[in-house]
Every structure is written in structure tokens, then in C-alpha cells.
Amino acid sequence: MITSARPVRPTVTVAVSAQGGALRLVRGGAAVEFSVTLRNDTSRDFPRFATGLAMEPYWVDGDFSDPRLTLQRWDPASRTWRDHPLHVATDAGVFYVTTGGTKLPRGALRTERYRLRAAPAGPVGASGIGVYGVITGLPQDAPMESRHSGSARLPLDISRA
């Protein structure tokens, strides 16, 4: 029998790191930093490439609950933290709502810094943050598969103060 497999589309390597390998937040406590490293080992240049961050909402009292988190990204040009979107939903919408992005040429390595803070009130427990390489600047009707290039997951645990 002869079988053939479709070639796997090369993706950008997405790696996340945090102290202890996970984000451990305390409600109302200090923000916790983590970093995302993107490495373009594909054979193409990406004119617009962004990092999309997403998580599922918490399940509280029989209903979905917003985790009430604030995500910020370090802007090295202005040397300040700026709010960054965190997609909270049970769908793949992160590939459609992530916008912006900068060039990521083939062979490039880029590290981005983020921090996450939990509001004083909100759900607690274990979850995770999905970190996705997103090809942006595509037509609105472009399929999700053409937008996604690499991913990683960062464990998240939120506790009460």
C-alpha cells in the first residue's frame, strides 16, 4: 500500500517563559511578568506578525465568568507598559481579533515582555493562557488556518489574597 501525507506547513516557534514555569497570580496582588519568544524558521518573511493571547473564561456557579485580568505589553520604544488585549472566549476568535503586528523576517528572533494582574474580585483556580503566532493584515475572509503560525501554552493559577 502506498500512502502519502500532506506536508506539514512550517510554523513560527512560539515559546513562553515565566518564573517557575507558570503564572501564579494573587487577586489584587502585583502583576507577574512573562516573556514570549518568536523564532521564524520558516522560508518566508511575514510583513505583519503579532502575538495573540487567549484563554477560556472561568466556570463559576454554573455560568462562564470573566477572569478580570489586566494584560500589558512592554513597549521598548516608549519604555512603558501598555494595555494589550487578552481574548477571553471559548472560540478561535483570537485569530480574527488580533491586529497590528510588525515584520518578522525569516531567521528573525523576537522576544516580547508581558505582565498580567488579577483584579481584587473575580474567580480563582487553575487555567492557562494560549499564546499564538498570528499572521495579520490578511483579508477578513481569510481562513483561520492561514492566520495561525505556532503556539504555546502557559499555565495560570489565580488565588485569593
Instruction: Read off the pLDDT of residues 43-64 as tens digits, 9 standing for 90 and up.
Output: 999 999 999 999 988 877 767 7
What's the pLDDT at 85? Answer: 92
The model carries a pTM of: 0.88
Instruction: Read off the pLDDT of residues 5-34 as tens digits, 9 standing for 90 and up.
Output: 554 566 899 999 999 999 999 999 999 999
Q: 147 falls in which pLDDT band (50, 70, 90)?
A: confident
Write b or e for each residue in 128-147: b if 16 or more Cβ atoms lie within 10 A of its Cβ, otherwise e.
ebbbbbbbbeeeeeeeeeeb
Q: In this prediction, what percent of the chain has a pLDDT beyond 90? A: 68
The SS3 assignment for 62 reads: coil
Give yes or no for residue 141 having a pLDDT over 90: no
What's the pLDDT at 10? Answer: 67
Given a contact cutoff of 8 angstroms between Cβ atoms, the answer to whether 69 and 119 are in contact is yes
